[in-house]
A and B are shown apart, each in its own frame.
Chain A
């Protein structure tokens, strides 16, 4: 494990130039400090959270003080270089011990950390943008402003795909498409479960997203399996018509009039391009459905994430009635909060 992690770090160090600034956990540990200094810093950072209390939560469903404290731990987890035996320093931080003066190395100066934490509390900059990464499934994906932070709900799409390829092993070797890939989360998640012959083509209109996705793909050494193409939805996929074994997407689906009321972390910091789904939020979902029939091969699988129950029902209805005969086994799948979240199905096989 340690060797793999080191290899991963080396690899990413070689292509770090792609992201500026690099994610916190990949920066070199060049700032000497001591346990007691870090502890003092943490105490200071903690004093900012009680003022938040549950006010963000009441305002726009934002984080409460407990959650911010957990983020604080994770921030330190990313910035403090672990000791040689790879045990975390965090327990030591909470419990004074004799070796408080032992030197430790940080990947950012304590001053920078102050700046970051102030941004978190006062500007509500998303935690993931501050540390430059999001833990998603068993991956650590680099993210930065201009790229949607992958959501926990979306993790389930990989499970859905995994179930499908277990039952339809032919799909394992085919070409899969992830449209509007953002950080490349779905493309990488699926790329890792496909067989050796399988491939993923991922598109995104945003050059920033395409760059971050490419970076993440390389970090997981999947550049031979996953291709990132910049462009709108199916446009870069002209060569894949009727060939796709699978199609997944988490397109923008928030109705335009909801954008203003979004949680500050989302509305003020994440790219509108990745959120705004038009007046009803269905613009891109419908576009995906309309094109899916001409892109998927017979028996090909699709899974789309939606805004919730209403979207799911409308979409399922459209797929089975509006595009009658094109698709089969259309299903609505709920997320872990029991909200109907995904619509899945297969391209019909002609009789």
Chain B
């Protein structure tokens, strides 16, 4: 939880943005639910053995639908089939006797309502998850015990998870598969049938998980409303607590959904290169690098400087750091591109306004498990980076920078921050390895044409963000229009808002494509 918790702070804006972008899609989502219903109905009548495990979801879905007709039968569903938050288990005492009777009948209700299983889940008064999203309830801090805020946050997370899963495509696919599963001659070709059944099952599983989140959310809301109706304060606060827990859990799930790329969990190298413009640019590059060091520190990542080439007067011409920790690449990849600064330069005696640029590149460090490009030693040129003088016993050098060039690709890496040449070499070698791996991945991605979205184009990209310190103060991301008015905080490493809004926006893009 630790580092991720920080991420949540200042996220309100992001969420609001996301809500804005998703508003137009709610209509489309309603269409989903009808197509689900058509795909589910044949399923429930021709259920095969392998899909038995899906029953519980169907059960919970059924119960929810049932609740539209009979609020009490819905209650029983809550306790019978949905994994209730653990603290509720000891609270059966508050159940009214008539509910308890119904609990025992719960399982039966499931079967006959199977055909309605896929209707959009709703609360007893007809509220849907989409409805929550489009009502724009403000999302406040977790510490505020406002249930609407919690509910909106959960709905938000569910929405993002659905986007990541490419929900609409899943629905269509499930419809096709269900039709096939339903054919009487399915098992004439057992191999094909097995394949279809497996895919059908796996898609069902994914959708089931999301649907159960939706049910859980709506049940919590129902419970809170019920508690209010009945003036049961204790139940109300328990329910809000449960909803808050759900908010935390689904935030976790949302992050997992956002960072589900194969390399996202990796550590990474982050490089900053000063643009043209001498001292002012070099100073800007150093500011950007400091921003990332502080950001990484906040998130609990280990940061080490691999390579650093200082500017003549101030700042850096170029630097590479290694950011180690879970999902370092997943987050940092959102920062790839050119960062622009507008300010009165402290290096300009005439106090004029200057614009400077710094480019950021991020390279994942693949784990040992991944297939890595094999490097042939004979294809490398290894040099002492800043050579000069006769060397050997003549010189006392504490610096033993090494530059490695991979001759076939021209990829180079230098390292000078380790205390021995051997380690500098190993460190530079690791950078070369990661660059080559990256190159190979990019090549493969290009071959899979569908994979050419911006996230995989890790390199010196286009301008992504502007930092204005004068005449006004603002940092604005050009890709998402996410902006803040406190550049100092951003430069102190508070960039999670930018990262998250970008990652969410990338998901939007995925679904659009």
Residues of A near any B CB (own CB < 8 A): 61-63, 66-67, 70-71, 74, 87-88, 91, 95, 126-128, 134-139, 148-149, 151-153, 155, 250, 252-254, 258, 262-263, 265-266, 270, 274-275, 305-308, 335-339, 341
Contact = CB atoms under 8 A, between A and B. Distances in A.
Contact of A61 (B389, B392, B418): B389
B342 to A, nearest CB: 24
B398 A254 contact: no
Nearest to A306: B392
Contacts of B382: 336
Nearest to A71: B398
Nearest to A341: B392
Contacts of B398: 63, 67, 70-71, 74, 127-128
B388 interface: yes
A31 B315 CA distance: 34
21 contacts: A61-B394, A63-B398, A70-B399, A91-B297, A91-B303, A135-B423, A151-B397, A152-B384, A152-B400, A153-B421, A155-B422, A263-B394, A270-B396, A274-B393, A275-B393, A307-B392, A308-B390, A335-B391, A336-B421, A337-B391, A339-B390
Nearest to A261: B394
Given A61-B389, A308-B390, A337-B387, A149 B418 contact: no
A94 to B, nearest CB: 8
A95 B420 contact: no
Contact of A135 (B294, B387, B420): B420
B397 A152 contact: yes
B419 interface: yes
Contacts of A253: 392-393
B422 A151 contact: no
Interface string B39-82: 00000000000000000000000000000000000000000000
A91 B389 CA distance: 33
Contacts of A95: 290, 293-294, 297
A308 B394 CA distance: 11
A88 B393 CA distance: 32
Contacts of A152: 384, 397, 400, 420-422
Given A61-B388, A336-B402, A338-B387, A137 B422 contact: yes
Contacts of B383: 336-338
A295 B180 CA distance: 82
Nearest to B419: A135
A243 B302 CA distance: 49
Contacts of A270: 396
Contacts of A155: 420-422
B420 A263 contact: no
Contacts of A127: 396, 398
A254 B394 contact: yes
A308 B393 CA distance: 10
Interface in B350-400: 382-384, 387-400
- Most chain B beta-carbon neighbours within 10 Å: one of A152, A254, A274: A152
A128 B395 CA distance: 13
A263 B394 CA distance: 7
**Size class of the contact patch on chain B:** 20 to 34
Given A67-B399, A338-B387, A308 B422 contact: no
Given A91-B297, A128-B398, 6 more contacts: A137-B420, A137-B423, A151-B392, A263-B396, A336-B382, A336-B421
B35 interface: no
B215 to A, nearest CB: 41
A335 B422 CA distance: 12
A139 B418 CA distance: 12
A95 B291 CA distance: 10
B479 to A, nearest CB: 28
B310 interface: yes
Contacts of B297: 91, 95
Interface in B300-356: 302-304, 310
Contacts of A135: 418-420, 423
B396 A74 contact: no
B241 to A, nearest CB: 31
Helix, strand, loop or mixed for chain A's interface?
loop
Given A137-B422, A148-B393, A87 B302 contact: yes
Given A95-B293, A337-B384, A153 B422 contact: no
A263 to B, nearest CB: 6
Contacts of B388: 61
Given A307-B390, A335-B384, A337-B387, A61 B422 contact: no
A137 B400 CA distance: 11
Contacts of B421: 152-153, 155, 336
A79 B388 CA distance: 31
B134 interface: no
A40 B297 CA distance: 22
A123 to B, nearest CB: 13
Contacts of A61: 388-389, 394-395
B393 A138 contact: no
Contacts of A149: 396
Contacts of A136: 420, 422
B168 interface: no
Given A135-B418, A135-B419, A153-B391, A336 B396 contact: no
Given A137-B420, A336-B383, A151 B395 contact: yes
Contacts of A275: 393
Contacts of A305: 392
Nearest to B290: A95
B380 to A, nearest CB: 11
Nearest to A127: B398
A318 to B, nearest CB: 19
Contacts of B22: none
B396 A126 contact: yes
A337 B395 CA distance: 13
A239 to B, nearest CB: 30
A275 B388 CA distance: 19
B417 interface: yes
B51 to A, nearest CB: 48
A255 B422 CA distance: 28
A212 to B, nearest CB: 17
A338 B370 CA distance: 35
Nearest to B294: A95
A93 to B, nearest CB: 12
A250 B391 CA distance: 13
Contacts of A250: 393
B310 A66 contact: yes
Contacts of B290: 95
Contacts of B399: 63, 67, 70
A305 B396 CA distance: 16
B186 to A, nearest CB: 56
Interface in B392-436: 392-400, 402, 417-423, 425
Contacts of B420: 134-139, 152, 155
A134 to B, nearest CB: 8
Contacts of A137: 420, 422-423
A186 to B, nearest CB: 13
A67 B419 CA distance: 12
B402 A263 contact: no
A139 B402 CA distance: 18
Nearest to A87: B302
A339 B383 CA distance: 10
Nearest to A335: B391
A254 B395 CA distance: 11
